[in-house]
Amino acid sequence: MRRPEFWVVFVEFWGEMLHDRRLRDLNTAVYTRTRRLLARLIADGVRAGRFRAVRSGRAAAVVLGLIDGLAPAHVRSGGIHRRRGHALLR
């Protein structure tokens, strides 16, 4: 995921799914599965005391939104340096 080409595929896919119902359905399924996985990871972190108490489903949607929001910037700039990425997420 460090290479901008990885994100170019997603940006292109997002554009194409606007015109193709099958791609939209695929995107919905992938996002649903990803949000559930993130929610489980967050809930596990809350139970282990690594994260403060949050609604894991909502937190998962926020994390996924952050990733999606950074993807176009990553493609435009040719990549985000790790330190800058960490600073953005603080």
Q: What is the pLDDT of residues 5-58, one digit of tens each?
A: 777 787 788 889 999 999 999 999 999 999 999 999 999 999 999 999 999 999
What pLDDT is recorded for position 66? 85
> For 78, phi and psi rounded to 5 degrees?
80, 15
Between CA 28 and CA 56 the distance in angstroms is 19
Alpha helices in 1-90 (DSSP H): 4-17, 21-47, 56-77, 82-89
What pLDDT is recorded for position 35? 95
